[in-house]
Amino acid sequence: MSREWIGRRRKDVCQNTKSKTRQRSWILPTFGIDAKLTIKTTIFLSPFTPRERLCMDRTNRWCLLLVIAFSNLWLHCSTNQGNCPPADWVLRNGAIYTMDAARTWAEAVAIDEGRLVYVGAEDGLKRWLGAHTKLVDLQDKMVLPGFQDSHVHPVSGGIELGECNLNGLTTQEQILDAIRRYAEQNPNAPWIRGGGWDLPIFPNANPHKSLLDQIVPDRPVFLSAADGHSAWANSRALQIAGITKDTPNTPNGRIERDPKTGEPTGTLREDATELVSKYLPEYTPEDYVKGLRRGLEMANRFGITSLQEASADEKYLEAYAELDRRGELTARVVTAMYVDPAQGVAQIPRLKELRQKYQGTRLRANAVKIFADGVIEARTAAVLEPYLDKPGDLGKPNLEPQAFNELVTALDREGFQVHVHAIGDRAIRMALDAFQSAVSANGRRDSRHHLAHIELFDPQDIPRFRQLGVIANFQSLWAYADSYITDLTEPALGPARSRWLYPIASVLKTGAVMACGSDWSVSSMNPIDAMQVAVTRRGLEDSTGAAWIPQELVELPAMLAGYTINGAYVNFEEQETGSIEVGKAADLIVLDRNLFEIPAHTIHRAKVLLTLLEGREVYRDSAFEIGR
Secondary structure (H, E, C), 203-229: HHHCCCHHHHHHHCCCCCEEEEECCCC
Element (H, E) at 247: none
CB half-sphere exposure, 443, CA atoms < 13 A? 1
Nearest alpha-carbon partner for 614 in 305, 358, 365, 360: 305
Which of 24-38, 52-66, 377-391 is modeled with the greatest confidence?
377-391
Mean pLDDT of 398-413: 98
d(CA 86, CA 267) in angstroms, rounded, equals 61
Distances (CA, A) of 290 to 160, 227, 318, 323, 334: 11, 22, 12, 10, 19
Residue 165: pLDDT band (50, 70, 90) is very high
Lowest mean pLDDT among 72-81, 150-159, 455-464: 72-81
The predicted pLDDT at position 10 comes to 32
What is the per-residue pLDDT across 292-317, written as a single tens digit (0 to 9) for each?
999 999 999 999 999 999 999 999 99
Which of 34-43, 58-67, 540-549 is modeled with the greatest confidence?
540-549
The predicted pLDDT at position 85 comes to 86
The predicted pLDDT at position 285 comes to 98
Mean pLDDT of 71-82: 50
The predicted pLDDT at position 77 comes to 58
**Average pLDDT across the chain, whole number:** 90
d(CA 105, CA 108) in angstroms, rounded, equals 9
Mean pLDDT of 446-465: 98
More confident residue, 614 or 42: 614
Residue 83: pLDDT band (50, 70, 90) is low
Residue 18: CB atoms within 10 A of its CB come to 14
d(CA 65, CA 609) in angstroms, rounded, equals 41
Q: What percent of the chain has pLDDT over 70?
A: 86
CA dihedral 130, 136, 137, 143 (to 10 degrees): -130
Q: Are strands 230-233 and 264-270 parallel, antiparallel or unpaired?
A: antiparallel
Q: Are 320 and 294 in contact (CB under 8 A)?
A: no
Distances (CA, A) of 254 to 109, 373, 393, 395: 55, 13, 13, 11
Residue 628: pLDDT band (50, 70, 90) is low
Residue 131: pLDDT band (50, 70, 90) is very high
What is the per-residue pLDDT across 14-36, written as a single tens digit (0 to 9) for each?
333 334 343 333 333 333 333 33
The predicted pLDDT at position 627 comes to 75
The predicted pLDDT at position 626 comes to 87
Mean pLDDT of 48-63: 46
Residue 313: CB atoms within 10 A of its CB come to 14
The predicted pLDDT at position 39 comes to 41
Mean pLDDT of 202-213: 96
Mean pLDDT of 410-431: 98
